[in-house]
Amino acid sequence: MKRIFTFWLTSIICISAGAQNFKVTLQAPQYKSGIAYLTYHMGKNLNVEDSAGVNSNGVAIFTGKRKLPGGIYAVVLPGKRITVDFFTDKEQVISIKIDTNDLVNKTVVTGSKENILFQQYQQYIAVKGKLLEAERQAYLQATTKKDSALHEANYLKYNKELKDYRENIILNHPKSMMAVLLNAMKEPKLLGNRMVTRNDSLQNYYYYKAHYWDGITFMDDRILRTPFFLPKFEKYYREILVQQADSIIKEADYQLLLARSSPEIYKFLLNWLTDEYINPKYMGQDAVFVHLFEKYHSKGLTSWLNEKQMETISRRAYMLMANLIGLKAAELDMLDTTGKPSPLYQVKADYTVVCFWDPTCGHCKEELPRLDSIYRSSWKDHGVKIYAVLSADSKEDLKNEWLKYIREHHIGDWTNVYQTKEMEAATAAAQKPGYRQLYDITLTPTLYLLDSEKRIIGKKLTWQQLDELLHVKWGSKTN
């Protein structure tokens, strides 16, 4: 399944925030023709809001019958080599005069108070940045300890002045777009540089996590249109949080609750989380997606999604609900190779590997002998049994080929089962989910690992991953 985040994201950024029209006038005397673009920052990309032709006087006018949501925007000049950032907030009639000979000091933005602070910041950064880089280069080229110490001290001095300048903006203009930007850029400090013991590491981790969102509110939609929020948000969920479903669900619910008064952030968060966990990277995280479906999507709290998007989400959720890690596996009422009933729960074992496979599947033909090899050499002696399900559309037509494969590859000591067409039709007539839905079978082979009570402890793993998981389980029993 293709990732659908950007597809859903479009439904956020086109929401009208009011009846007010916007007008952004670009004055770039160095240009006499070409197409300029009005764009906004969203994550790592610039997204096009509007385009306009540059006339012979170097003027281009962007207009729209809606209010531009607050955030960091950029005018992209003809040729797409030069961009100039500016802020928008409440003011919607803005003029930008550009001199390409000195973009930092000679660009003038009028009609928006937010840009006065932004321009002052850019000019300060330009000066301070040169000083910092000069001291860094001097430090690298220093030939004596005295010179190294001097340039290091100067570098730290300028860096502190830059930090203090930023903190003063946040302190004196806490509701400004500039403060939103600077808070989004901040990284929390660690408690200390020395992490000698595991406890030191844990304390630093908990402190870092607790202060990760300092200064950032999930109730200010402007934060979305910056280049810093999305990477910061992605890092939090992919690197900072413990990658367990319960931890992720708790954090997601809390942040969504905070964002309920800010419609754009709420939609952004829910769309991103849905896309991130609809096909998660780690086993067990699909529980996050199911939770989001049950608590938000199925309750009608995502009205901005269209019918096709909701159908995709719903179908995927129903395929996962019965096979989450920790749940008891659904019963499989199947027949064995002699035509006798052989349900899954009739198998008594410390661990049961459920294998869904197809004798015409090339990958199955490669993997099943390897699965049988590790089963015979190790698993069998540890109380593991294999329950192998014929999973193909034309089961009756494949029955002879299925039986032939079992005989030729000597896997008769597995519990080999299948379901007749009549059994499948009866399940559908009773409006009950079939085994493909219950076990989310979209590819073969698909492997599940169940414990002695038939609870799912591993799913959609390779036989190598199953072997590692089993050794962990055996090791924990020994300990």
What angle separates helix 263-278 from helix 307-320, to the nearest 10 degrees?
50
Report the pLDDT value the prediction gives residue 471, as an integer from 0 to 100. 92
Say yes or no: 273 and 362 in one domain.
no
**Domains of the chain: total:** 4
- Residue 182, CA distances (Å) to 121, 131, 167, 175 in order: 11, 21, 8, 12
Q: What is the mean pLDDT of each run of 10 residues along the chain (479 residues)?
A: 37 43 92 93 85 94 90 91 89 91 87 88 90 92 91 92 91 88 81 68 87 87 88 94 96 95 92 95 95 96 93 95 96 95 96 96 94 96 96 76 94 94 92 94 95 96 94 74
Say yes or no: 467 and 356 in one domain.
yes
**Nearest CA to 275 among 6, 41, 46?**
6
Say yes or no: 238 and 361 in one domain.
no
Report the pLDDT value the prediction gives residue 394, as an integer from 0 to 100. 63
Q: How far apart are CA 65 and CA 316, in angstroms?
A: 38
Q: How far apart are CA 75 and CA 82, in angstroms?
A: 8
Domain residue limits at 404 = 335-478
Alpha-helix residue ranges (DSSP H) falling in 259-332: 263-278, 286-295, 307-320
The encoded tokens of residue 304 equal 């901005």
Report the pLDDT value the prediction gives residue 5, as an integer from 0 to 100. 36
Q: In CATH, what number is assigned to the domain containing residue 88? A: 2.60.40
Identity of the residue numbered 442? T
Report the pLDDT value the prediction gives residue 4, as an integer from 0 to 100. 37
Task: Judge whether 9 lies within some domain.
Answer: no
Task: Judge whether 401 lies within some domain.
Answer: yes
Residue at which a domain ends, from 259, 294, 323: 323
Q: What are phi and psi of 314, to 5 degrees?
A: -65, -45
Say yes or no: 443 and 357 in one domain.
yes
Say yes or no: 86 and 31 in one domain.
yes
Task: Judge whether 449 lies within some domain.
Answer: yes
Identity of the residue numbered 187? E
- Residue 248, CA distances (Å) to 251, 276, 291 in order: 5, 11, 10
Report the pLDDT value the prediction gives residue 113, as an integer from 0 to 100. 86
Say yes or no: 100 and 153 in one domain.
no
Residue at which a domain ends, from 76, 110, 144: 110
Say yes or no: 237 and 311 in one domain.
yes
Say yes or no: 106 and 124 in one domain.
no
Task: Judge whether 330 lies within some domain.
Answer: no
Say yes or no: 43 and 140 in one domain.
no
